[in-house]
Amino acid sequence: MHLNSYMDYDVVIIGAGVVGLAIARELAESSDKTVLVIEKEANFGQGISSRNSEVIHSGIYYPPDSLKAKFCTRGRELTYDFCQKHQIWHEQCGKLVIAQEGQLNELEKLYEIAQKNGVPDTRIIDQNELISLEPQIRGNTALFVGCTGIMSAHEFMAAMQRISAEKEHDYLFMSEVVGIDQITDGYKVDICNPDGDIEHVTAAWVINAGGLHSDMIAQMLGEKESFPKLKYSKGCYFKLSSRWRGQFRHLVYPLPDEKHGSLGIHLSFDQTQTVKLGPSAHWLNDRVENYDVKKALLALFHAGAAQYIKGLRMEDLTPDFAGIRPKIYNEKNPLSDFYISHEEDKGYPGWINLIGIESPGLTAALAIGEEVAGTVIGEQ
């Protein structure tokens, strides 16, 4: 569709990734707000939301007072319920976090965080139980997490977009936000449409769910130093050969790589039981979205995964795909938190920023949608 100049909406959502869609879906089910969703790609969920492990996270990694812990633990429950209700493929397969010799203390610390975050069905298991659960996995001990799962991220997003569209929310694809002006009743959003023309729309509320570009969208308000800045962390995946298909019943993780702010190169699988390894983690020096997977990473992946997968051969690995994490960079704490804020205190009532929504953003999406929509509707 094309907009007439100054067509008004109650809410404009910038970004049709999983978080933007979750907010739109919650607004559709809880209000009669008029909503426009603006997306620079040709369809929903083409960025971060579709380039990940598709894991339903438990919430074992995040400090108890963090937004990641809050929204991941609430989002996990909402996600399982939503998938069940809308017949979205998912599997509560559980996961194992593997500790090798000398790593028991780190594993116990992780277990303590899980307990503080109220994560159910977690326990430390010995080597014998580990072997009985996953004969192909090598380790001294492991943390068993029963509430972790996997799902089809595309089906998940498609269901939310369908609910939103059925409420007559409008969507503008291949359209990029190029300017923001604060006006008396809200905001004027300048949009470059697929033809290269600039169009405008006004809204009382603007929700910035712009993913990799969310910090730059926030800066369009003119407050370049007031909001967090992102640094890109690229993660690559390799898939395993068909001889490994169906060989694992649980997701398998090493202990987190705190230096790079990642969960480590882990083992997951999809609906077809194809096994994949990843993601890796390395900082990008620029803001270019480069999704190639270099074969030079093969040795790194093999060495990392062979620590816990028995009999893994170099030739079993094939480059698969890559994603980019929008991390709020902090040298002292690479495992940075989400930034979710109604910027009223900064002089921008009706503007909500969601910056640095990386993992566990897929799991947290419905809980974030619940909170943000509640702010807009006025119930929270």
pLDDT tens-digit map of 142-195: 999 999 999 999 999 999 999 999 999 999 999 999 999 999 989 999 999 999
Q: Are residues 190 and 295 in the same domain?
A: no
Confirm whether 243 is domain-assigned.
Answer: yes
**What are the distances in angstroms from CA 329 to CA 80, 133, 232, 356?**
31, 38, 9, 9
pLDDT at 131 over 50: yes
Confidence check: pLDDT of 219 > 90:
yes
Mutual angle of helices 361-377 and 67-85, in 10-degree steps: 90
Residues 217 and 255 in one domain: no
Q: Is residue 73 part of a domain?
A: no
Residue 4 scores a pLDDT above 80: no
The residue range of the domain holding 180 is: 7-50+155-227+337-377
Do 251 and 237 have their domain in common?
Answer: yes
- pLDDT tens-digit map of 57-105: 999 999 999 999 999 999 999 999 999 999 999 999 999 999 999 999 9
Q: Tell me which of 287, 309, 328 is where a domain ends.
A: 328
Across the chain, what does the average pLDDT equal?
94
pLDDT digits (tens, 9 = 90+) for 315-356: 999 999 999 999 997 766 656 899 999 999 999 999 999 999
Q: Examine the domain organization and report whether 36 and 162 are in the same domain.
A: yes
Average pLDDT over residues 248-266: 83
* Domain shared by 160 and 25, yes or no: yes
Question: Same domain, yes or no, for 239 and 140?
Answer: yes
Q: Is residue 63 part of a domain?
A: no
d(CA 327, CA 82): 27
Say which residue the tokens 């094939």 belong to. 318
100 in the same domain as 190: no
Residues 322, 248 share a domain: yes
Is residue 70 domain-resident?
no
pTM (predicted TM-score) = 0.95
Residue 335: how many CB atoms within 10 A of its CB? 18
Whether residue 289 sits in one domain with residue 161: no
Quick one: the chain helix, strand, coil %, rounded to 5? 30, 30, 40
Evaluate whether residue 2 is within a structural domain.
no
Give the CATH number for residue 129: 3.30.9.10
Cβ–Cβ under 8 Å, residues 11 and 36: yes
Regarding whether 345 and 300 lie in a shared domain, the answer is: no
Helix-then-strand count for the chain, H and E: 8, 20
Are 105 and 217 found together in one domain? Answer: no
Asked whether residue 346 is domain-assigned, the answer is yes
Tally of domains in the chain? 2
Q: Is residue 89 part of a domain?
A: no
Rounded CA separation 190/197 (Å): 10
